Amino acid sequence: MLKGKSAIVTGSTSGIGKGIAEALAGSGVNVMLNGFGDAAEIERQRAALASATRVEVAYHPADMSKPADIRDMIASAEKTFGGVDILVNNAGIQHVAPIEQFPDDKWDAIIAINLSSAFHAIKAALPGMRARKWGRIINIASAHGLVASAEKSAYVSAKHGIMGLTKTVGLETAGSGITCVAICPGWVLTPLVQKQIDAKAAAEDLSPEAAKMALVGEKQPSKEFTTPEQIGQTVLFLCSPAADQITGSAISLDGGWVSQ
């Protein structure tokens, strides 16, 4: 169904983005990876995914806090693949602190990478999608795009902003063959979340497993982590004809978090 389409997945060298990139490549989609990490390891990952799926897998090192880098990444994918059909805005960072102690530079970085990067990527990718009369823009938001938690002022603000951006782009592209949807995962066991687990274990003198269960159980009634693979499969559904009328909206994969 998606064979021959092309995608960019930002922040795809680990965690959620890696799971999404693997799902798309496994369905015949050419994929451009993006993210930070050891250059040799990223190349090994790129080559392994290309070999396993027999699609074209490229990599672009764009710093998602820099609009010029983002525009260059979109242009590079269009040159490499002939177009960008699927854009997954996934890149994100986190910092946890009370607002009075929240560092200004952390606020600026989180807003830039978690929110503004999606604006710049969508703006650059949309003309090509409009020309082809088909496109999928999938923004990885969070349960924190719908509800808040203490000590996450920048992250919650950015993810709520992603929800507003999703709604606006959904309205502006309605009826064009292009959709824009936000996926709102709950707790996903990624390196970002592992840092919070480790901090909780240290602060409360808990074992790593006890800290993990305490973290997920506090918010997520299922008491189970959402997985990158589940998010990847949701992306595939959103790229299918079954999802043609899902736009400007949010899909929660949160084990019941926001139903409370």
Give per-residue pLDDT as tens, 28-43.
999 999 999 999 999 9
CATH code, 6-186+226-253? 3.40.50.720
Reported confidence tier of residue 74, pLDDT bands at 50, 70, 90: very high
Going across the sheet that includes 178-185, the strands are 57-60, 30-34, 6-9, 86-89, 135-140, 178-185, 249-253
Per-residue pLDDT reduced to its tens digit, 125-181: 999 999 999 999 999 999 999 999 999 999 999 999 999 999 999 999 999 999 999
Confidence (pLDDT) at 9: 98
Going from the C-alpha of 236 to that of each of 17, 55, 68, 210, the distances in angstroms are 13, 16, 29, 34
- Comma-separated ranges of CATH 3.40.50.720 domains in the chain: 6-186+226-253
Reported confidence tier of residue 186, pLDDT bands at 50, 70, 90: very high
Mean pLDDT, the chain, integer: 97
Confidence (pLDDT) at 202: 94
Count of residues in the chain: 260
Residues tagged active-site: 155
